[in-house]
Structure 1
């Protein structure tokens, strides 16, 4: 029998958040999945199919990505995204959570752990964003030019989904139409580019070293040795700065771990928890 999945929208912080929830009565643990920049719940489809057999799973489309709303009033800072995730888990009454964050989602997880240490027993960071500075002032100022979102759209169209996937993956042979269309779908409307323009202004830098050292939650770091987006040296530095962490490096693997190595990631998570 196919396992139930509850998909829906929840108004949190004045924005509609899309989520997928896979309940499992026999599991006391819930995994909360947070995707990366220009991505969505779609990126976790292979990992979800493995996790949901044994655990409860909540996967969230971080605004403005995926099916979550694109709102002009919403503040797209990491701090506000972290607070939005916390409020969503509270509204669903979830306890005993372990967070899994990929890329930018990893930075949101770190913000959550820094903000609310007691919320999670453990965390898994997949090629997590780390040590990224705030956008430079000229870019922030330029973003206020009318129709700047059309420049953002042009940049996205020029690089294209396939090129972005080739940069994120070591093994290009797994790129197919389903994958390309899955990543392209949320970018077919102009609202996303207006929201991304807001994100250029709102996004603060990644957590500084002093803040990282205050996080005591046990963290498992999993990295691809051929990650071009967030090279392994950042994972090694993050492993030093977090007081309670371990680092696993997967060979011949790029940035998109949930696409390339879902089974190896799942096995490492099971061992860790």
Structure 2
């Protein structure tokens, strides 16, 4: 089934309340094809819809595209009631789809957003047609009990803020991009702004306390949804060996690895990602994947 799109016009920036949490999302409709398939973009840790800025114009040539800020991030509510677990984020994606009458969608998740996408597919496989995981987070354990206990110490939020901002935004971007020339003033400001949102660091602490570990092998093996994984070989945040391990544990997964590319591969290889995405969605049988060296 294709996604049902409401008949009235949308502005790109929208808000909706799902399970008591106010969410910000952007909707880009494909006016040329009302029956086009729907893609939902799910960002990673310390990020927002901004991370898909180069993919969106390319994807909207063929698809309806939703880009969502997860609770606690971007322009979405820094909720004090939402339980910041990956499984809850996954269920929220399904509930978001129900709220907006999206019958079925393809999810594109980056980093932590990849784990969220996997949880959504596990929670309600009939609504998720395919998964495209970009530098997907994997096999990260839950925070230690001692760290969680420390999070209740007064002024811990100040320490958390210091930890996140110990490098300036430019240095953080240089760490996730292989090509340093892509770190522009516009990009720096775009990533800096959400870090100043009121309540952001309190949400971050809740995520630290409540986030369970990433999916284990038995859970990954239960996901029958077709998966395309794309990785940067120079990814310093989530090394490519994680991609090979996920490829082994997921029943129906292909892996593509780009040379000279880091963790924020949507900035470095948007055209290639969209080309592989279109091929994968169309069910082409010859999607290439790299072998471990």
Shared fold per TM-score greater than 0.5: yes
Structure 2 residue aligned with 1:109: 117
Structure 1 residue aligned with 2:127: 119
- Cα contact 2:104–2:126 (8 A) shared by 1: no
Q: State which of 17, 21, 36 in structure 2 corresponds to 1:28.
A: 36
Cα RMSD of the aligned pairs, angstroms, is 1.2
- Identify which range, 24-33 or 103-112, moves more after superposition: 24-33
Structure 1 residue aligned with 2:22: 16
Over residues 166-205 of structure 1, what are the superposed CA-to-partner deviations in whole Å (9 max), with x where a residue is unaligned?
1101111110000000000111134101110111001000
- Cα contact 1:28–1:96 (8 A) shared by 2: no
SS, match of residue 86 in structure 1: helix
- Cα contact 1:30–1:95 (8 A) shared by 2: no
- Identify which range, 5-14 or 128-137, moves more after superposition: 5-14
1:140 aligns with 2:119: no
1:242 aligns with 2:250: yes
Q: Distance in 2 between matches of 1:129 and 1:58?
A: 21
Offset at residue 4 of structure 1 (A):
5.9
SS, match of residue 117 in structure 2: helix
* Structure 2: gaps spanning 5 or more residues: 1-8, 282-293
- Cα contact 1:30–1:96 (8 A) shared by 2: yes
- Cα contact 2:120–2:128 (8 A) shared by 1: no
SS, match of residue 128 in structure 1: coil
Aligned length: 271
Equivalent positions of 1:109-188 (< 5 A) are: 109-188=117-196
Over residues 114-169 of structure 1, what are the superposed CA-to-partner deviations in whole Å (9 max), with x where a residue is unaligned?
11111111110001001010001111000011221111111122122112111101
Q: Distance in 2 between matches of 1:24 and 1:49?
A: 11
Equivalent positions of 1:224-235 (< 5 A) are: 224-235=232-243
Runs of 4 or more above 2 Å deviation? 3-6
Q: TM-score, normalised by structure 2?
A: 0.90
Q: State which of 211, 223, 230 in structure 2 corresponds to 1:215.
A: 223
Over residues 188-236 of structure 1, what are the superposed CA-to-partner deviations in whole Å (9 max), with x where a residue is unaligned?
1341011101110010000110000010100000000000100000000
Q: Distance in 2 between matches of 1:139 and 1:234?
A: 24
Q: State which of 51, 60, 84 in structure 1 corresponds to 2:68.
A: 60
- Cα contact 1:30–1:98 (8 A) shared by 2: yes
Q: TM-score, normalised by structure 1?
A: 0.96
- Identify which range, 243-252 or 88-97, moves more after superposition: 88-97
Bigger share in helix: 1
1:94 aligns with 2:105: no
Q: Distance in 1 between matches of 2:74 and 2:125?
A: 28
